[in-house]
Amino acid sequence: MAMENLTQWNLTFAGVENLWLRVFVLILAIAVLFFSWIGVKTVSFHSQRLLLFVLRFFATTLIVILLLQPQIEQKEVLKLKNKVVCLLDNSASMTLKGGDTGITRFQLVNKFFKDNASFIAELHDTFDVDYLSFSDTIKEISYNDIEGGLGLDGTNTDISQVLKLLKKRYEGKSVKGYLVFSDGADTTELPSTVNKLEVISSLARDLSVPFFTFSPAGNMEARDIAISDVSYDSFTFVRSPWKADVTIKIFGYDDLKLPLTLKQGNDIIASRVLDTGKERELHIDLSFTPHMTGTFLYTLSLPVQPHEAITENNQVSFLVKVVRDKIRIMHVCGRPSWDERFLRRVLKSDPNIDLISFFILRTPSDVTEARTDELSLIPFPVDELFTQALGSFDLVIFQNFDYRPYDSSFFRFSHYLKNIQKFVTELGGGFLMIGGDISFSTGGYDGTPIDEILPVNLVAEKDTIDTTRLKAILTTEGLKHPVTALDADADRNSAIWKDLPELDGCNVTSGLKQDAVSLAIYPLKGNPPLISVRDAGQGRCMAITTDSLWRWNFLSVGKGGSNRHYIKFWQNSIKWLIKDPTLNPVHIMVNKETFLPNEEIQIKITVVGGNYQPLGGVQLAIDVSDEFSGKSIFSAKGTTGGDGQYRATIKHGSEGYYIVKVVAKRETDEIGQDYAVFNIALENREFKDPFIMRDILAKMAEVSGGEYFDLPATNIKEKFSIENPPVVKLVGKRQITLWDNGYIFLSILALVSIEWWIRKRGGLS
């Protein structure tokens, strides 16, 4: 800001620029005058003598002027004020309250300007004062914005970037001081090899302007419990341990007992109670084993403490994608058979299956005279399989297996049946029972926990074994179920089932459970179920009441056919039992996992038919809702096009995790459903660590030649001063020459002529 306009006059010499030459010319002129005076002293008349000297003096003076070429320079200048820049931190961390004071950090900044009003007024009178707010960038504000008008909504603080922007903004301008009001909480994440304090110090030093920094005093530290960081793999394998390293920071609390909880949706899957003591940072290892594939939302949380300044960082949510590495199958068979042999061959030949198979050739009741360690047949490792290792499997198969020889007081196999039930209903595992003379009711499973999950009812008094050789017949449900889809075309699939070889009989059970589905029957009286399925809790179960499916392999090949239908049936069965997502005809894809508020979210839904070709004309019911509250934010109905796809675009402004659900129907039949999860979040690092970083601000002041102050600060005018040298700006100039004039030459000629005439007349030499 200009103070006043000034005119400056300067005398310069254009002829002889060298100072010593100017001195030589003056000395020469003085010498000429000296010898001239000596020469005129012989003139007898005093008036004549004086006149001659005056003429010589003026002539010499004019010659000197011609040699030196003097000129007057007129300058118009503008006298300016030096600049002082006030920088105010507008990041969200400035809203934090200190301890039990109830005062926010920015309220202390407001108080500074009120308590030092005279200093601020003097600053405005003496300097040109700029006001800037900053977080990861800078914004020009006014003095009036400080009280109430400054939005404290910066989500990241990058002091290094701010210093770079200051250098660019004020390059070439006369800045004499930076006043910085901040908590110093720089949130930038740099490589471990880079020292943030050194980087900021170097940038502050390069500006060559003193920094006077102001930060809340020690009693303003916020009280907070923060989940500062969670280190985890966003990609893991089903039924394999998933681990997370959790960093918890504690500010202002001692000797707490904190329950740390890990949830999947609203279900608690892991928890620990932490005894904090005097620690300020805890590192906790959490782990659990996922039992289903898909993308899942997990939430870590700590309870809010009294007087806690920040509650947002007590909870952290994240998405983990769970995929299948290999299908782990435990196959337990009561005795060797053709059916066991062909099934085992199919399972072992599949590179995606990790098979653990046991043949029960010796039971605890078998009598042997040899010692156990001398036998080549090892006992059935019941406890290891059905307690320690059970959760690591995807599917358990009981094939013609009677558990009762192991239900002694020592083995207690009935106890392990309960574990299998929980494996299915709670862990989402699959269970398959295959028939035979020691299976189902004849294996003693009626009234056991296995009976509760099987799709067929077991009643020992009513169940029988029928050995009539007949062909399996598909039910109405079996015509469209993925397990019995041996060909993508429905007509060809029906023909295949009709051509399959006959079977050697089945276990005749007491019918289906109410929520079970029969896919194929054995055409005896009462049409007993041959292949039936059921969803049991989180998992799935299947019952095959025959031990002669091997005939679909052996006899088909023997007749010159192929065993591909036999292999296809078992592939379909395993995929259905383990809930393989490739069997789902409906698939949702969201273009990414995390969005900014009001950013466009693109949802693509794909529906395929039984032959995995695009299915058009499918009616879709789409719903997008908050994962935690269940509140719907978007719902629509649509129809897939000829490419089997439907696209929807939505926007939403509220942060949170949201689940997209779609149900696909054709007429009245449900084809399938799917879901996907996405996150809307404005990344805010301000509350991850509420610590006031005074060391950064103090270092900036030290290296720049300024000074650091704690807030509140009063009488600041007496504690420091800012240099204020004068600053002028040239706005125009002109030069007036004093020698470039014909009158000077005429004057010299006239003076010399007059002196010559006087000397001639007076008879002087």
Q: Where are the domains of the chain?
A: 2-79+731-762, 83-219+691-724, 224-322, 327-579, 583-680
The helix-helix angle for 551-558 and 338-349 (nearest 10°) equals: 90
Q: How far apart are CA 711 and CA 114, in angstroms?
A: 13
pLDDT band at 655 (very low <50, low <70, confident <90, very high): confident
Q: What are phi and psi of 486, to 5 degrees?
A: -85, -10
Q: Residue 414's pLDDT band (boundaries 50, 70, 90)? A: confident
Ranked by mean pLDDT, the top range of 338-352, 409-423, 684-698 is 338-352
Closest CA to 391 of 278, 269, 572, 272: 269
pLDDT digits (tens, 9 = 90+) for 36-71: 777 676 666 677 767 777 777 777 777 777 777 777
Give yes or no for a contact between 297 and 319, defined as CB atoms under 8 angstroms apart.
yes
- Please say whether the beta carbons of 337 and 436 come within 8 A: yes
**Per-residue pLDDT at 433 exceeds 70:** yes
Dist CA 765 CA 42 (whole Å): 11
Residue 364 has pLDDT above 70, yes or no: no
| 257-306 pLDDT, tens digit each | 989 999 887 788 888 898 888 888 899 888 888 888 888 888 999 999 88
pLDDT confidence band for 177 (50 / 70 / 90): very high
pLDDT recorded at residue 369: 45
| Residue of 479, 495, 521 whose CA lies nearest to 610 | 479
For residue 310, which phi and psi values (nearest 5 degrees)? -125, 125
Rounded Cα distance between 291 and 393, Å, is 9
* Residue 13 pLDDT > 90: no
pLDDT tens figures, 480-493? 888 998 887 888 99
**Cis amide linkage into residue 303, ω under 30° from 0:** no
3-state secondary structure of 115: helix
- The token pair at 760 is 């001639």
User: Which of the four pLDDT bands, split at 50, 70 and 90, describes residue 77?
Assistant: low
- Given the candidates 2.60.40.10, 1.25.40.10, 3.40.50.300, 1.10.1200.10, the CATH classification of the domain at 224-322 is 2.60.40.10
The predicted pLDDT at position 376 comes to 40
pLDDT reported for residue 372: 44
Domain 583-680 has CATH 2.60.40.1930: yes
Mean pLDDT to the nearest integer, 73-87: 79
Q: Is the dihedral of CA 123, 127, 128, 130 positive or negative?
A: negative
With 60 as the cut, is the pLDDT of residue 144 above it?
yes
Using a 10 angstrom Cβ sphere, with 0-12 exposed, 13-18 middle and 19 or more buried, the burial of residue 713 is: middle
- Whether 153 has a pLDDT exceeding 90, the answer reads no
State what percent of residues in the chain have pLDDT above 90: 40
**CATH class assigned to 327-579:** alpha beta
Selected residue with higher pLDDT from 716 and 753: 716
Which tokens hold the place of 718?
A: 């007496």
Question: How many angstroms separate the CA atoms of 406 and 218, rounded?
Answer: 69
Residues 6 or more apart from 168 whose CB is under 8 A from it?
none
- Report yes or no: 260 and 209 within 8 Å, Cβ to Cβ: no
C-alpha pair distances (Å), 286 with each of 108, 265, 293, 302: 41, 17, 20, 14
Contact 707, 212 (CB under 8 A): yes
pLDDT at 373: 46
Stretch 387-407: mean pLDDT: 88
- Top pLDDT among 72 and 624 is at 624
Model-level pTM? 0.63
Q: Is 157 a residue whose pLDDT tops 70?
A: yes
Q: Which residue has the higher pLDDT, 259 or 218?
A: 259
Q: How far is CA 291 from the centre of its chain?
A: 26
pLDDT per position as a tens digit, 20-37: 887 787 888 788 777 777
pLDDT at 759 over 90: no
User: What's residue 612's pLDDT?
Assistant: 65
Both tokens of 278, joined, read 């005097």
The two domains 327-579 and 583-680 share their CATH topology (first three levels equal): no
Query: What pLDDT sits at residue 525?
Result: 87
Alpha carbon distance 694, 180 (integer Å): 12
Over 60: is that where the pLDDT of 560 sits?
Answer: no
Query: Over the chain, what is the mean pLDDT?
Result: 84
**Which residues, listed in sequence order, are joined to residue 282 by a DSSP beta bridge?**
248
Confidence check: pLDDT of 427 > 80: yes
pLDDT given for residue 370 in this prediction: 42
Q: What is the mean pLDDT of residues 435-459?
A: 93
Q: What is the mean pLDDT of residues 618-645?
A: 90
Q: Which of 364-368, 413-417, 516-520, 613-617 has the lowest mean pLDDT?
A: 364-368
**Alpha helix (H) residue ranges in 350-471:** 382-383, 413-425, 449-453
- Domain with residues 83-219+691-724, CATH architecture: 3-Layer(aba) Sandwich (3.40)
Alpha carbon distance 106, 112 (integer Å) = 10
Tell whether the model's pLDDT for residue 594 goes beyond 80: yes
Mean pLDDT computed over 242-253: 88
Measured CA to CA, the distance from residue 26 to residue 68 in angstroms comes to 10
Q: What is the pLDDT, as a whole number, of residue 423?
A: 93
75: pLDDT confidence band, cut at 50, 70 and 90? low
The rounded distance, in Å, linking the Cα atoms of 530 and 513 is 14
Q: List phi, psi (to 5°) of 146.
A: -65, -40
Q: How big is the chain by its Cα radius of gyration, in Å? A: 48
pLDDT at 377 over 80: no
User: What is the pLDDT at residue 213?
Assistant: 96
Identify the residue with better confidence: 290 or 368: 290
Of 2-6, 324-328, 633-637, 681-685, the one with minimum mean pLDDT is 2-6
